[in-house]
Amino acid sequence: MTWLSSLFFNPSIALVGAGLIAVPVIIHLINRVRYRRVQFAAMEFLLQAQQRNRQRLLIEQLLLLLLRTLIVLALLLLISRLVLDPSQFALFRDSRTHHVVLLDDSASTRERRGETTAWSEGLAVIRKLAAEGARRPQTQRLTVLLASRPNQPLITDRDVNQPLVEELASRFDPASFLPTHQRVDFAAGLQSAGNLLLADKAGVRELHVVSDFRSRDWNDQKPLASQIETLAKADVSVHLIRTTPMAGPNLAVTRLDGAVATAAAGVPLRLTTGVTNFGTEVATDVRASVYDNGVKTPATVIFDRIEPGVEVLHEVDLQFPSPGRRRVEIRLDTDNYPVDNVRYLSVDVSAAIPILIVDGDPAGDAASYVADALAADPAATGLQTTIENADILRRRPLDNYRLIYLLNVGELPPDSLDYLEKYVRRGGALVMAVGNSVRGDAFNRTFHREGSGLAPLPLGSAPVEFVLDVTSSEPDLKAGDHPAFTILQGDDNPFLDAVHIHKLFEPSPEWVSDDLARGDSSKTIARHKSGRPVMIEKPFGAGRVTLLLTTAHPEWNDWALNPSYVVFQLDLVKSLISNGPNQSLRIVGEPIRLSLDPATYTDQVELSVPEADGQRTLRLQAAPQQDAAPAATANQPAANPADPAPATPEASASGNIRLVVEQKETDTPGIYTVRLTTQNQISEERLYAYNVPLEESSLAVIPTDSLRKTMGNTERVYIHEAGELSWVEGEEAGSEIRTLLLAALILLLLAEQWLGYRLSYHPAKGQVAR
């Protein structure tokens, strides 16, 4: 019965019907013995004539018997549903069939079409495979892998039987078993599935890739085609099973960001939001609502028209009345793919942004010019400046400041310099400006140190003075492509053209002025009309340093007297504080990893996880670990500054031991809240905004022809359209056989009738048979 199951979908009928093949033979034998022989003289003549035709008659009768036997056999094969698929010949290999299913559980499988989703259709395919396999017990095995975690099989090499079918019906219920919100790696999934199949040497092997087959994942993906070709050459049949026929329209919130690091209470924060039309038709009058801590704000962003494939950006200003951590959302109306209709952003609103200004000349007024530009009205800018001398660098934790200005400081004591470098490496921002107190040799020994220090370039021995040329219309200051100059550039803002530079420190002669030819990470952001750099910046660890090669006050230039100076300083602060990616803005699936100083925090961590119906609270315990993070260098960023506790210039009291905790399950989009407890029993809260990958919003489905082109001419690769499950029942494999059997049956019936008529007795027309 087992081997029949590999050839027939109705093996019981085949087994019972096999005996019917003998019926024509039995009838033939009965007809030969039912007459009694009687000898009489008149028959002698006839017997002599019969002897001459006997051999021919015997052959004709045997042919008629064969035709009738073949008719019965053809009817039997049709009723029992013969399948002549080479992959079904387990009988001849003395083995069983192993089905490995790679199930796509990416976010895009949540797209709804009518009453179903691509995910629901994928689960239905697996249940159908199991149901059909259970009809042939002890011949089928099943392994199911999720594309999001292919190394952790859901089902591992299980015999397909009725208990498994019932288990899958309950376990694979799309109402409770949901896909991820992530993008998946099909190459890793095919690798894991291939390893399982290639290790199984004893049986027929089938790989079923159940996916919505989005163009972004499969179009012209030669590495995937190469993996599938390798499996096919190893006699693995590969089935590419679609779960959705085509993509529907989709509008997605694809951007929500801004200079959130500069958010201050009472100061408008400008955010940029973007909506992309991933459909094929124009979208009009698209409205997005803005939410603050779950409450809808009066602000509504209106997108009048969005062309297909285009992202449209709008700006919206939010003002937070008090300091604290805010949860901001932009939401569109729900459509057939609600996953990307909302985008989240966490904002840490400060009472004010603290900025430290260190002036190397106590009698000078450079610091006051910078302070007036930044915080003449702190309520309007949200910045709070503190003016100190260089001793502050060793007396106060620098991490209390978001940005430090170092004005007219030519050198520092080693301990102060060490604290300042650690501050910048951990993500701090530093602006340096030269002045009369700066000497090139001392500056280079302290701040440049042949490229390993804070300064982006080595200074020459002395500054260069320029004579004012009133006849020249060429501006002294030429701004580059930098956020600090964005507003000031263009014909509508001629203020920079009126800036005059009288004195400038030029680089040492060996320094290469061209950024590309120099090949380091520093970048010139403003130049003098002579080509000399005026302003240059470089990354230093996780932070950034900007060096102004003239004074920050009207001593070597008149920039501080120009209206552009205030705009420049404010935008420079914003760009430096917001430098780098927002570490609290993440993609679902990225773990939350905290490395805490045990001298500051306890090991108790509380995590609030967003869910569809609210928040779920987890209580975690951090474990002590040796801090293995490599020290940052000028060219190598330090560890992620967002997760560890805010550092201080001083070394941790616990040495290199850190309290480490990690939460890997971050699949649900939303705001994750981490609550820490300090050793003083003060609660500290951190927010992390998790959003779906932008790639998952592109729902275009690869056409079958393109998918075949990607796969090439690889044999044993079959593509099955969405909703077509006849191939599971073997109808695709056996359809050609049934057609041939039907044609053969008709021919056999016609031949049997003709031969039967020819061999029977028919009197001549008008003659009466006696």
CATH number at residue 706: 3.40.50.410
Amino acid at 180: T
Residue 86: predicted pLDDT: 44
Report yes or no on 764 lying in a domain: no
Are residues 697 and 250 in contact, defined by beta-carbon separation less than 8 angstroms? yes
Confidence of residue 634 (pLDDT cuts 50, 70, 90): very low
Picking from 543, 577, 611, the residue at the C-terminal end of a domain is 577
pLDDT in tens, 69-128: 888 887 777 776 665 554 444 333 335 889 999 999 999 999 999 889 999 999 999 999
**Same-domain check for residues 428 and 542:** yes
**Same-domain check for residues 362 and 402:** yes
Confidence of residue 231 (pLDDT cuts 50, 70, 90): very high
Q: Report the chain's terminal Cα–Cα distance, integer Å.
A: 54
Print the SS3 string covering 482-519: CHHHCCCCCCCCHHHHHCCECEEEEECCCCCCCHHHHC
In angstroms, the CA 443 to CA 523 distance is 20
Residue 82: predicted pLDDT: 64
CATH number at residue 681: 2.60.40
Are residues 102 and 238 in contact, defined by beta-carbon separation less than 8 angstroms? no
pLDDT in tens, 275-323: 999 999 999 999 999 999 999 999 999 999 999 999 999 999 999 999 9
Closest to 316 in 3D by CA, of 277, 379, 269, 264? 269
Mean pLDDT lowest for which of 177-186, 208-217, 593-602, 710-719? Answer: 710-719
Higher pLDDT, 467 or 245: 245
Confidence of residue 583 (pLDDT cuts 50, 70, 90): low
Please state whether beta strands 97-103 and 204-211 pair in parallel, antiparallel, or not at all (unpaired).
parallel
Picking from 334, 349, 364, the residue at the C-terminal end of a domain is 349
Picking from 577, 611, 645, the residue at the C-terminal end of a domain is 577
In angstroms, the CA 365 to CA 371 distance is 10
CATH number at residue 301: 2.60.40.10
Dihedral sign computed on CA atoms, order 37, 43, 48, 51: negative
Three-class SS of residue 599? coil
**Same-domain check for residues 111 and 63:** no
Residue 638 pLDDT greater than 50, yes or no: no
pLDDT in tens, 434-483: 999 999 999 999 999 999 999 999 999 899 999 877 677 888 999 999 98
**Same-domain check for residues 275 and 206:** no
Identify any residues that bridge with 318 across adjacent strands, giving them in sequence order: 269
pLDDT in tens, 490-502: 766 788 888 999 9
**Same-domain check for residues 565 and 421:** yes
Report yes or no on 690 lying in a domain: yes
Print the SS3 string covering 454-487: CCCCCEEEEEEECCCCCCCCCCCEEECCCHHHCC
Supply the range of the domain harboring residue 280: 256-349
Report yes or no on 681 lying in a domain: yes
Q: Total structural domains in the chain?
A: 5
Higher pLDDT, 24 or 184: 184
Mean pLDDT lowest for which of 57-71, 95-109, 379-393? Answer: 57-71
Closest to 365 in 3D by CA, of 381, 387, 384? 387
**Same-domain check for residues 486 and 605:** no
Report yes or no on 769 lying in a domain: no
**Same-domain check for residues 74 and 148:** no
User: Mean pLDDT over residues 513-537, rounded?
Assistant: 92
Q: State the maximum Cα–Cα separation within the chain, in Å, rounded to a whole number.
A: 156
Report yes or no on 765 lying in a domain: no
Residue 84: predicted pLDDT: 57
Averaged pLDDT of the chain: 85
Report yes or no on 566 lying in a domain: yes
Higher pLDDT, 489 or 219: 219
User: Mean pLDDT over residues 503-532, rounded?
Assistant: 92
Residue 157 is inside which H or E element, if any?
Answer: strand 155-159
Residue 53: predicted pLDDT: 65
CATH number at residue 382: 3.40.50.880
**Same-domain check for residues 422 and 560:** yes
Report yes or no on 770 lying in a domain: no
pLDDT in tens, 319-375: 999 999 999 999 998 889 999 999 999 999 999 999 999 999 877 789 999 999 998
Residue 50: predicted pLDDT: 61
**Same-domain check for residues 198 and 270:** no
pLDDT in tens, 34-49: 555 666 555 666 666 6
Residue 763: predicted pLDDT: 66
**Same-domain check for residues 40 and 138:** no
Non-local CB neighbours of 399 within 8 Å, separated by 6+ positions = 423, 426, 428, 646, 647, 648, 649
Report yes or no on 766 lying in a domain: no
**Same-domain check for residues 96 and 230:** yes
Are residues 71 and 745 in contact, defined by beta-carbon separation less than 8 angstroms? yes
Residue 655: predicted pLDDT: 54
**Same-domain check for residues 334 and 391:** no
DSSP output for 36-69: PP---TTHHHHHHHHHHHHHHHHHHHHHHHHHHH
